[in-house]
Chain A
């Protein structure tokens, strides 16, 4: 595999590390399997791309994308809490609605961002360092910029989950009845958690648009499965209950997963094409869920719904 292809795989892996963190919050922390993210990833990309193309500062555009993602997550939580709609269905409803909303936001199915300012430009101070290593300039800058963003957000999230508020959120997912008996407003924590999760995924979308150079309505398909794949892979590599390691393993899982996919697509003898990505992902996640002993979000979900 070429250096450029490897850097590309790490770059997309870092973007999906944010998706993995979002999925970790809903599936693992809150025990709220949220499918909204298939709509929130393109939403984040759409908001950021439309605003940047309209001349808005890329930092503001990215922040606006995060807010849009949080709002989308709140809608899903609201459908579930206020109207007792099953969480899976609530997520699918929002995700379906988002497809139309994303088209409205963008006005066209695809916005190119070539030669537009992006948040990556704010990391140009790294360029002299990169020049010294002799690595290809632009791709390496993208990887380093994303790495810094992802590490900062991962550290903030780990810190958040160790606060009193974050601990209450973990209790909400682990044992809601006990949480309420301890004075925790579980509804509020579900709202905040699902909003936060979708905010992270929208940020991933916004960064995707700015690193890949375009936003497209179709990029959301399979987001949830890719995020889950990263979480499961990370958990398989690091078997732990510690929050810090769990967050770190989400990041490693996301990058390892993208590298594995890139290797598979590169191996000519397998005969795979880029368009086979979703099939490969679904098969891999399916196998991971079938394996015994693998920490398994879906299995615990089904066990719970059984009488």
Chain B
């Protein structure tokens, strides 16, 4: 469960480049809900995820995860509640470390890391089983360094890693944006499978209105640091991309003017 109440975030306050990224954003996500978040560049999508993960601090308002007020928690502490997959395939894994070492790092998320061996037989067996589910042949490459994998493979492993520690909240930050269309479709499909199987509460930021409607159970659009509309259920099912654009115009009284959002 996620609850964001009246959150404000400003970057570079008091400078000519002052940017009010979030301006009183409210959002609650129920347990097991899979929300897609859209919005043009600068709408505050990434800042919303950063405020949830702890990479950005809310200067006003509160952030709650699973009923715990985490507004003042730093990123590592929040990792006990939240998993995250980054947009850049390089960002979510350590390329210098091996696949199994990356997975061991993720499996220890949220608990104390002591002087026991990071890798042992049962863990390797677990990782092998998990990797086999991907169907990419990675289960035979546990000792390969992460840097040898393609972007799509890395995102697939990142997704797996996000589930290893058993946290129930998953943040996806345009995690298919850097992939080619076929790989992106594979990773999106895998995302859906994992979210369903593990009954995760997921928040997926995407640049593609199409993907936003095709995945999850609810779609939220951000604009200038606020939620402009929030659709779910039958109403959402009946909608297509042009309907979203119409809705935006209706709510804001202006045309959406972001080519990348319209073209995708």
Which chain A residues have a beta carbon within 8 Å of chain B's beta carbons? 160, 162-168, 170-171, 174-175, 177-186, 241
Q: Report chain A residues within 8 Å CB of B109.
A: 182-183
- The answer to whether B116 and A163 touch across the interface, beta carbons within 8 angstroms, is yes
Interface size on B, residues (CB 8 A): 37
Q: Report chain B residues within 8 Å CB of A163.
A: 113-118
* Closest Cβ neighbor of B93 among chain A residues: A178
- The answer to whether B79 and A166 touch across the interface, beta carbons within 8 angstroms, is no
Q: Report chain B residues within 8 Å CB of A168.
A: 105, 108, 113
Q: Does B84 contact A (CB under 8 A)?
A: yes
Docked pose: A127 CA to B106 CA in angstroms: 50
- The answer to whether B115 and A164 touch across the interface, beta carbons within 8 angstroms, is yes
Q: Does B94 contact A (CB under 8 A)?
A: yes
Docked pose: A182 CA to B105 CA in angstroms: 7
Q: Does B53 contact A (CB under 8 A)?
A: yes
Using known A-B contacts A168-B105, A175-B91, A241-B145, determine if residue A181 contacts B117 with beta carbons closer than 8 Å. Answer: no
* Closest Cβ neighbor of B108 among chain A residues: A164
Chain B interface main SS type:
loop
Write the nearest CB–CB distance from A28 to chain B, whole angstroms. Answer: 9
B95-103, B204-212, B244-252 - interface stretch: B95-103
Chain A interface main SS type:
helix
Q: Does B119 contact A (CB under 8 A)?
A: yes
Q: Of B79, B98, B104, which one neighbours A164 at CB under 8 angstroms?
A: B104
Write the nearest CB–CB distance from B81 to chain A, whole angstroms. Answer: 10
Write the nearest CB–CB distance from A26 to chain B, whole angstroms. Answer: 15
Docked pose: A179 CA to B98 CA in angstroms: 15
Docked pose: A183 CA to B91 CA in angstroms: 15
Query: A162, A171, A181: which has the most chain B beta carbons within 10 Å?
Result: A181
Docked pose: A164 CA to B106 CA in angstroms: 11
11 extra interface residue pairs, beta carbon distance < 8 Å, beyond A163-B113, A171-B105: A162-B117, A163-B117, A164-B118, A165-B114, A165-B115, A167-B101, A167-B105, A174-B95, A180-B55, A183-B79, A185-B76
